[in-house]
Amino acid sequence: MKILVINAGSSSLKYQLVDMDGEKVLAQGLCERIGIDGHLKHKPSIDGKQKFDADVSLPSHSEAIEAVIEKLTSKEYGVLNSMSEINAVGHRVVHGGEYFNSSVLINDEVLNAIEACTPLAPLHNPANITGIVACKKVMGESVPQIAVFDTAFHQTIPGKAFMYALPYEYYENDKVRRYGFHGTSHRYVSARASDMLGKPLEELKLISCHMGNGSSICAIEGGNSVDTSMGFTPLVGLPMGTRCGQMDAGAIQYLMKKHGYSIDEMLHILNKKSGVLGISGISSDFRDLDEAADKGNERAKLALDMFNYWVAKTVGGYAAAMNGVDAIIFTAGIGENSKSTRADICEYFTYLGCQVDEQANSKRGEEIFISTPDSRVKLIVIPTNEEIVIARDTCDILDKK
Ligand code: ADP
């Protein structure tokens, strides 16, 4: 079975074609600048087929999907004889609100519910919907489309953790609550951790640290998400590349009044100019910050220290909330690659009986225990793979059809 995995953004579209027989990625790529001018990068994984990297006219997502199908089926760059070899499409959808606690086959009712969640994710859901509609248009109604939600995994979080202490009607009438994001990633790494630990998920208390441009931490008990650091939106929790993380609404009002900012201007600052970029004044990329801190830049060091501190105290909070933890997982760009960030964070965990194996921690981008064999709580690096979860869910739903 061959599954096309689509992650549609407002002006971009990432794709992966996966052969579920052996879970092999046959090709992957990225359409950029959709609706502006257009650029396509396509990389087949089959010998003898060529990469493609050039400007192509992409006035809308439909043309982007057409360009992807054209490349996937072309003699020079392709890995398929025809589009009909694609059995189904799995879409990443950011927000499923309280409608979806698992992946679903998309029909009109589902599409309406995704649409109904748009006010909760005004930047992401419309782009995801555009990707779904474009696939239907180009590939036809007969190819099943499946939605896999970033929020679904967190629907098991109990009320005491997902409620905000606001008047209750804002939850009841307006659905204001913690939803959490990165659910597909937290789900994937927790399942891998269970395999690596040789214990069923039902018996494990895990804390997953997804640390990339956006970062979130998730407490997973018995395979279920029981708390997570992102909230109603992905803005809160840890300080991130450019997002502020936890913030006092009173300080926001103070700054808006003092500088005459509109709410949109203020949110732009909180989303795009804050986090480690805002603190350091240098970059949102941890590689740049590591380099600057090594050269003695105090603000870069402060930004890194703040990030590590927030990870440590969030993990500590979740260990307390679950009354224990068996393993702490690091994943995503920073979690998979930055040995210094991992080492600095783990210094906070000696009270948990964590001991870092320095040699193992010097490795990058592979599944590995970075704790010593006698470490009470295990420390694990697991490269995330959201695409394979989307492809597997798509396959499972097709099998049940
Ligand atoms: P996204 O949230 O966009 O998917 P990623 O998970 O790809 O982000 O993470 C990107 C971030 O990972 C970069 O901004 C950078 O800070 C960090 N990163 C990647 N490689 C390294 C590295 N070798 N050392 C430190 N940080 C790294």
Domain ranges of the chain: 2-149, 199-381
Phi, psi of 105 (to 5 degrees): -75, 130
The rounded Å distance from CA 211 to ligand 1 centre is 8
Phi, psi of 104 (to 5 degrees): -140, 155
The rounded Å distance from CA 210 to ligand 1 centre is 11
Beta carbons within 10 angstroms of residue 232's beta carbon: 17
The rounded Å distance from CA 209 to ligand 1 centre is 13
Mutation test of ligand 1: which of 208, 334, 366 has the most ligand atoms closer than 8 Å to its C-beta?
A: 334
Q: Cα–Cα distances in Å, from 68 out to 65, 84, 274, 389?
A: 5, 14, 35, 21
**Distance from C-alpha of 278 to C-alpha of 255, rounded to nearest angstrom:** 15
Closest-lying ligand 1 atom to the alpha carbon of residue 341? 25
Mutation test of ligand 1: which of 287, 336, 361 has the most ligand atoms closer than 8 Å to its C-beta?
A: 287
Q: What confidence score (pLDDT) does residue 122 get?
A: 86
**Location of structure tokens 């003699």:** 75
**Distance from C-alpha of 385 to C-alpha of 376, rounded to nearest angstrom:** 27
Q: Cα–Cα distances in Å, from 377 out to 115, 331, 350?
A: 42, 17, 10
Query: Atom 13 of ligand 1 has which residue's CA nearest to it?
Result: 285
Planar angle of CA 180, 335, 320, nearest 5 degrees: 55
9 touches 94 (CB < 8 A): no
Query: Atom 7 of ligand 1 has which residue's CA nearest to it?
Result: 333
Mutation test of ligand 1: which of 185, 285, 288, 336 has the most ligand atoms closer than 8 Å to its C-beta?
A: 285
pTM for this predicted structure: 0.95
Q: DSSP label at 110? A: H
CB-based contacts of 210, cutoff 8 Å, min separation 6? 182, 185, 186, 189, 216, 217, 218, 331, 332, 335, 384
Q: Can you read off the two tokens belonging to residue 298?
A: 């105090």
The rounded Å distance from CA 182 to ligand 1 centre is 15
Q: What confidence score (pLDDT) does residue 123 get?
A: 83
SS3 49: coil
Closest-lying ligand 1 atom to the alpha carbon of residue 290? 25
Topology alike, domains 2-149 and 199-381 = yes
Q: Can you read off the two tokens belonging to residue 115?
A: 């649409």
CB-based contacts of 392, cutoff 8 Å, min separation 6? 20
Ligand 1 pocket by C-beta < 6 Å: which residues? 212-214, 241, 285-287, 332-334, 337-338
Q: What confidence score (pLDDT) does residue 199 get?
A: 98
Q: What confidence score (pLDDT) does residue 247 get?
A: 95
Q: What class has domain 199-381?
A: alpha beta
40 touches 126 (CB < 8 A): no
**Distance from C-alpha of 195 to C-alpha of 202, rounded to nearest angstrom:** 12
16 touches 28 (CB < 8 A): yes
The rounded Å distance from CA 88 to ligand 1 centre is 30
50 touches 70 (CB < 8 A): no
Q: Cα–Cα distances in Å, from 261 out to 243, 257, 258, 316?
A: 18, 7, 8, 36
Query: Atom 23 of ligand 1 has which residue's CA nearest to it?
Result: 337
The rounded Å distance from CA 212 to ligand 1 centre is 5
- Active-site amino acid positions: 150
The helix (run of H) or strand (run of E) holding residue 377 is none
The rounded Å distance from CA 347 to ligand 1 centre is 21
Q: 53 has which bridge partners?
A: 41
With 0-12 / 13-18 / 19 or more C-beta atoms within 10 angstroms meaning exposed / middle / buried, residue 42 is buried
Nearest by Cα to 60 from 142, 138, 146: 138
Reading phi first (left if > 0) and then psi (alpha if -120 to 50, else beta), residue 170 is in: alpha
Query: Atom 24 of ligand 1 has which residue's CA nearest to it?
Result: 338
The rounded Å distance from CA 393 to ligand 1 centre is 26
Closest-lying ligand 1 atom to the alpha carbon of residue 364? 23
Phi, psi of 360 (to 5 degrees): -65, -40
Mutation test of ligand 1: which of 186, 188, 211, 213 has the most ligand atoms closer than 8 Å to its C-beta?
A: 213
Q: DSSP label at 9? A: -
Query: Atom 2 of ligand 1 has which residue's CA nearest to it?
Result: 213
Beta carbons within 10 angstroms of residue 164's beta carbon: 12
**Distance from C-alpha of 155 to C-alpha of 115, rounded to nearest angstrom:** 19
Closest-lying ligand 1 atom to the alpha carbon of residue 287? 25
Q: What confidence score (pLDDT) does residue 286 get?
A: 96
Helices (H), 151-216: 159-162, 169-172, 183-197
Planar angle of CA 298, 300, 306, nearest 5 degrees: 100
pLDDT in tens, 172-222: 999 999 999 999 999 999 999 999 999 999 999 999 999 999 999 999 999
Distance of CA 68 to the CA centre of its chain: 23
- Determine the topology of domain 2-149 in CATH: Nucleotidyltransferase; domain 5 (3.30.420)
Q: How far apart are the first and last CA of the chain?
A: 14
Report, as ranges of residue numbers, the positions in the chain whose pLDDT lies below 70.
none
